[in-house]
Each structure stands twice: as C-alpha cells, then as structure tokens.
C-alpha cells in the first residue's frame, strides 16, 4: 500500500472523510506508542555493482597501482587512514568520517559466486538467503522479514521509495510504497469531481482519495515536498520526512554503478547521487540522525584489474558503506584480503572476507533488539552472525 501522509495529515483526513476513513484500516491514525522505537534503518541498494576499490581506494596495498595503471592515477582520493582513501566525488562525506559517523567494510559480499549477473546478484542481496535463490514466486526480501519480526510494526513502519521494484521489502509484512514526483495537474474542480466519483465506488474509494491527496501539488504546508525522479537529495529529504513521521525503515535504489568503460568519469554521477542522498538524510533528520543508520550495499564488487576500456567488469568482493549518528565509525571494518594474485578470488576479484548479511544482521540486533537466534532463523536463514563487529557506540 502506498501512502505518504504524516500523522497530522492522517488525522485531518480521518476527520474529513468521516465514515469512509473510520472503516479503513489504512486511514486509521496509528498510536505512536505502538511503534517499534525510535531507531531508524535506511538501506540503499546500489544497483549495477559499485567498485569498492575505487570508492575506498586501498592506497596502502602495494599491488593496486599495477592492477589499475590508469584508474589508480585518476581522481586523487582523500586520505581516510594510513591505508584507505576516499573517492573525491564523496568529499562531502568527509565531515561525517571525521565525526565518526561513517565507516565501511572494504571486502564483503553476498554468497552469490561466479555467475556475476546483476539481476541474480541483486536478488541474492535483497532476498538475503543462503545457497540458491528460492523460486521467483517464493522470494521475499530481508527487510520485509525484519518488519515481520518488529512488534507493533504498521504498514507505514517500512517504506519502499521509487519506481523500481524493491525485492528487499517485498513479502508478507505490510509495507508502504511510493514514488515521489507524481504530482497531477488537475484543477480543484476536477479533483472534487473525481473524489466524488471515487467515493461512490467502494473498490476505488480508499485508493482514490489517497491518490488525489498525494498528488496534489503545493498543498503541503510544511516540509513535505516531493522531489522529481532523479533527484537524490530530494529523495533523501523525502525519506527523512517519512522517518520523522511513522516510518522507521526505508529502502531505495541508486543506479549507475556499472562502470565498464571510462570509470574515472562514469562513476562520478552515481557517487554524487549517493553523497547527496546521505547528506540530505542527515540534514533532514536533524536530531533523529543520532538514531539512524544508513547502509549502502551493492550486489557484488568489480574486477581488481581495470579492463581495456579503463573500466572494470563484474567481480565478487565489494564495499559496504555505513553512516549514521550512532555509528562507531571512522574505520574500515572486517579486514583487508590483499590484492596480490594469490589473494584474489578466482585470480581476478577482490576476495570477500565476510557474508555481507552479517552487517545488517548485527544492526538489527543492536538497533531493534532482535535476538541473534531470531535473526539467524527468520531473517537470514543459514547465516552464522559470528562475532559482533560492534557497529555502534
């Protein structure tokens, strides 16, 4: 169910719609007391396979320059510690790094190996299952399974934003989905008449009223401004508003990471969008940033060697970016496998040192207080969470 109203608007609507609203569970105001706490989790799915080696460049690794004769010379990175340096297109995140509000896992991945298909890789990342994927019909996403484990979760607790399919939030638990930027240019009279027609048809009444409400441009008297499609900062602001209202979990995709050619240029727009989204989330959340964790994860990494077109091809180990006000950041988490020939996966890719699911799993335990056994059984079947990476302060 899609819907973007905040609580205040919901109350207004509930009054305005009278008995229609009273009969509709979706428009019934929810009690804040029932909400699963104040902690917030945002998962950004970086579709297309982000090159972690370029984003968190391991300058301290002696093999980098030989593997990437051109790419390692481009886009002079900003030192993070005495080993890694950050891609300059993310320079806006440096204040977060210095404040301990950003960290990263340089070499991790799903359990998906060797086929290196974006679609299958993303399905693995979002389904969060071990071994072969369940049949497409039975697939659901791990964030949805998390919602199912949260006491007091409502449809609006979890929010999938954007037009793309978000398997990560699909499943049995009710969630909310909405694409920003769908204002409708209807005259007030036309809205009134349509609203009258929808109200006259039970099947359309609820969906119709919400659709009209959500698509009315410029009626919002406060912070609810809807961004256009490709505007990552707007997306971040919009999600921040939802997280300040009833939502606690949100997920959206950023694309543009599949840099087979001229990566020194091709990666810049995607990184710019990622930075915009994270900064807009932080700014929009205000004090709630201290309760928020952002995880940006990608389906797999890219080849350790650059290819003939100064790009990189589909690989295995990749990076996970973490940000948030309560993070124990300013560090690379989970070790470094090295880039010597014998250290690479299949002689070509960065070796993943962990099952990427362990990080959201520990975040779930630490943020939402879920027991390790419930996470390993119901959310990430087949995962051994291992030792805590102690993500939070």
Partner 1 sequence: MVSVPTIAAIRFGAGLSPHRPAPVDADALYTSLSVEAQPSFPPQPWGARLNLLQKRATLLQASREETATPADRAAFAEAHQALRDTSFSDLRHSIAELAYAGTGFHERLTRFWANHFATMGMGGALLRTRSAYINDAIRPHVTGRFSDMLRAAVLHPVMLVYLDQFRSVGPNSAVGRQQGRGVNENLAREILELHTLGTSSTYTQADVSQFALLLTGVTINPQNEFLFDTRIAEPGIIEVLGQRYGARLTRLDHIVQALDDMARHPDTATHIARKLARHFVADTPDPRLVAHIAAAFSQSGGDLMVTCRALLEHPAAWENPMAKTRAPLELMAAAIRALNIPRDGFLALPSRRTRLELAEPLQQMGEEFESVPSPAGYDDSAPYWITPQALAARIGWVTALVQRWPDGPDPRTFVDVALGDAASDALRRAARGAETRAQGIGLILASPGFNRR
Nearer residue to partner 1 within complex by CB, 166 or 351? 166
Please report whether residue 262 would count as binding partner 1 according to CB under 8 A.
no
Q: How far is the CB of 128 from partner 1 (least distance, A)?
A: 18
Closest CA to 247 of 218, 288, 280: 288
Which span (50-58, 207-215, 231-239, 286-294) binds partner 1, by CB under 8 A?
207-215
Please report whether residue 307 would count as binding partner 1 according to CB under 8 A.
yes
Nearer residue to partner 1 within complex by CB, 182 or 330? 182
Q: How far is the CB of 55 from partner 1 (least distance, A)?
A: 22
Please report whether residue 215 would count as binding partner 1 according to CB under 8 A.
yes
Nearer residue to partner 1 within complex by CB, 78 or 212? 212
Of residues 114, 185, 221, 287, which one binds partner 1 by CB under 8 A?
185
**Could you give the CA distance from residue 35 to residue 150 in angstroms, rounded to a whole number?**
9
Q: Is 157:138 a contact under the CB 8 Å cutoff?
A: no
Q: How far is the CB of 145 from partner 1 (least distance, A)?
A: 18
Q: By rule CB under 8 A, what count of residues binds partner 1?
A: 41
Nearer residue to partner 1 within complex by CB, 218 or 308? 308
**Could you give the CA distance from residue 264 to residue 344 in angstroms, rounded to a whole number?**
23
Of residues 56, 84, 97, 178, which one binds partner 1 by CB under 8 A?
178
Of residues 196, 283, 286, 388, which one binds partner 1 by CB under 8 A?
196
Of residues 69, 119, 228, 335, which one binds partner 1 by CB under 8 A?
119
Please report whether residue 193 would count as binding partner 1 according to CB under 8 A.
yes
Nearer residue to partner 1 within complex by CB, 27 or 42? 27
Please report whether residue 308 would count as binding partner 1 according to CB under 8 A.
yes
Q: How far is the CB of 304 from partner 1 (least distance, A)?
A: 17
- Taking residues 127 to 166 in sequence order and writing x for each that binds partner 1 by CB under 8 A, - otherwise, the string is --------xxx-------------------------x-x-
**Could you give the CA distance from residue 187 to residue 207 in angstroms, rounded to a whole number?**
19
Nearer residue to partner 1 within complex by CB, 31 or 200? 200
Closest CA to 345 of 299, 303, 297, 298: 303
Instruction: Give the end-to-end CA distance of the chain in Å, rounded to a whole number.
Output: 35
Q: How far is the CB of 193 from partner 1 (least distance, A)?
A: 4
Nearer residue to partner 1 within complex by CB, 210 or 278? 210
Please report whether residue 172 would count as binding partner 1 according to CB under 8 A.
no
Dihedral angle computed from the Cα positions of residues 335, 340, 345 and 351, in that order, rounded to the nearest 10 degrees = 10
User: Looking only at residues 310 through 369 of this chain, which bind partner 1 when binding is defined by CB under 8 A?
Assistant: none
**Could you give the CA distance from residue 151 to residue 371 in angstroms, rounded to a whole number?**
13
Nearer residue to partner 1 within complex by CB, 90 or 235? 235
Of residues 207, 268, 372, 381, which one binds partner 1 by CB under 8 A?
207
Please report whether residue 30 would count as binding partner 1 according to CB under 8 A.
no
Which residues form the interface with partner 1 (CB under 8 A)? Answer: 1-3, 117, 119, 135-137, 163, 165, 177-179, 182, 184-187, 189-190, 193-194, 196-198, 200-201, 203-204, 207-208, 210-212, 214-215, 260-261, 307-309
């Amino acid at each position: 169910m899609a819907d973007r109203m905040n609580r205040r608007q919901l109350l207004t609507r509930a009054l305005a719609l009278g008995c229609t609203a009273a009969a509709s569970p979706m428009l019934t105001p929810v009690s804040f007391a029932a909400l699963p706490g104040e902690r917030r989790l945002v998962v950004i799915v970086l579709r297309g396979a982000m090159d972690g080696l370029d984003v968190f460049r391991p300058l301290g690794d002696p093999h980098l320059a030989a593997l990437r004769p051109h790419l390692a010379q481009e886009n002079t990175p900003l030192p993070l510690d005495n080993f890694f340096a950050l891609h300059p297109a993310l320079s806006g995140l440096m204040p977060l790094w210095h404040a301990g509000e950003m960290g990263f896992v340089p070499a991790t991945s799903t359990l998906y190996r060797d086929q290196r298909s974006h679609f299958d890789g993303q399905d693995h990342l979002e389904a969060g299952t071990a071994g072969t994927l369940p049949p497409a019909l039975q697939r659901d996403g791990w964030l949805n399974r998390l919602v199912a484990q949260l006491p007091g979760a409502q449809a609006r607790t979890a929010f999938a934003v954007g037009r793309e399919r978000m398997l990560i939030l699909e499943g049995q638990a009710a969630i909310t989905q909405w694409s920003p930027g769908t204002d409708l240019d209807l005259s007030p009279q036309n809205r009134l008449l349509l609203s009258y027609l929808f109200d006259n048809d039970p099947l359309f009444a609820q969906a119709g009223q919400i659709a009209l409400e959500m698509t009315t441009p410029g009626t919002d008297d406060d912070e609810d401004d809807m961004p256009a499609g490709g505007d990552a900062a707007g997306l971040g602001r919009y999600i921040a508003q939802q997280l300040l209202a009833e939502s606690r979990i949100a997920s959206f995709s950023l694309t543009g990471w599949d840099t087979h050619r001229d990566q020194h240029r091709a990666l810049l727009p995607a990184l710019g969008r990622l930075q915009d989204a994270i900064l807009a989330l932080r700014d929009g959340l205000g004090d709630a940033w201290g309760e928020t964790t952002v995880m940006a994860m990608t389906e797999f990494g890219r080849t350790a060697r650059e290819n003939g077109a100064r790009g990189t091809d589909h690989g295995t180990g990749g990076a996970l970016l973490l940000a948030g006000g309560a993070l124990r950041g300013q560090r690379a988490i989970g070790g470094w496998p090295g880039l010597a020939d014998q250290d690479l996966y299949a002689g070509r890719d960065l070796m993943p040192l962990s099952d990427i699911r362990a990080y959201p799993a520990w975040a779930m335990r630490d943020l939402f207080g879920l027991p390790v056994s419930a996470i390993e059984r119901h959310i990430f079947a087949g995962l051994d969470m291992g030792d805590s990476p102690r993500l939070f302060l």
